Amino acid sequence: MSSLDDRRREERRPVEEAGGGEAEGFELAEQALIEQAENWEAGRAPRRDAFPAEEDSGAVYGEADHERTSESDDDTA
C-alpha cells in the first residue's frame, strides 16, 4: 500500500509544481501578490505607500436637466 501512495504522490507532483490542484494555483498567485505588495525587505508598506485620500469635489450628481426626444407630448397616448 505504501508503493501505491508513493506512486500517487509522484503522479501529483508535476501538477502541484505547476500550481495546479483544487484551487488551480489561485492561492499561490494570491500569495505572490501579497508578498510583492508587502515587500518589507525593500522598505515597502501598503498603508504608508498609499496615495493620500482624495478630497470631496462637492459636485452633486443627478438626472439631466432636459431629455432630448423625437416624440412630442401628443404621442404619449
Half-sphere exposure of 55 (CA within 13 A, CB side): 2
pLDDT digit string (tens) for 7-65? 988 988 888 887 666 666 678 888 888 887 777 777 777 777 788 888 887 777 777 67
In-domain check, residue 75: no
Compute the distance between CA of residue 31 and CA of residue 25 in angstroms, rounded to an integer.
10
pLDDT of residue 75: 56
Q: Specify the number of domains making up the chain.
A: 1
Model-level pTM greater than 0.85? no
Report the distance separating Cα 74 and Cα 77, nearest Å: 7
Q: What is the grid cell recorded at 39?
A: 515587500
Domain extent at residue 33: 1-52
What's the rounded Cα separation, in Å, for the pair 38 and 46? 6
Within a domain: residue 24?
yes
d(CA 16, CA 29): 13
